[in-house]
């Protein structure tokens, strides 16, 4: 799993930090997302997917190319980055 964030799209809602504090933080100055680890450990995959799914501006992208999910959830891409053209 690889996580990417688009800081320009982030509105600072902070849901990602609440759901996956091991993966995301917020900058003190403006509340914009800060990615702590672009390749989270398997135990954090589910939380990273949830964070991408609930991001109000779709600023988080999860790429699971060749990944089985690591936690048995292997449900594909989230956060508006699905290959079938449908949002997460």
Domains observed in the chain: 2-63 (3.30.70.20)
Which residues are CB-neighbours of 15 under 8 A, at least 6 positions away?
51, 54, 55, 56
**Per-residue pLDDT tens digits for 67-78:** 554 444 444 444
Q: What is the pTM of this model?
A: 0.74
Closest Cα partner for 27 from 43, 16, 39, 38? Answer: 16
52: enclosing H helix or E strand: helix 45-54
**Per-residue pLDDT tens digits for 35-85:** 999 999 999 999 999 999 999 999 999 999 855 544 444 444 444 443 444
């Amino acid at each position: 799993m690889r996580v990417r964030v688009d800081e320009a799209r982030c509105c600072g809602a902070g849901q990602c930090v609440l759901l996956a504090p091991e993966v995301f933080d917020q900058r003190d100055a403006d509340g914009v997302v800060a990615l702590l680890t672009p390749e989270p450990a398997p135990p954090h995959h589910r939380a990273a997917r949830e964070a991408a799914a609930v991001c109000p501006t779709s600023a988080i992208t999860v790429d699971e190319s060749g990944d089985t999910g690591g936690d048995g959830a292997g449900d594909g891409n989230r956060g508006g980055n699905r290959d079938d053209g449908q949002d997460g």
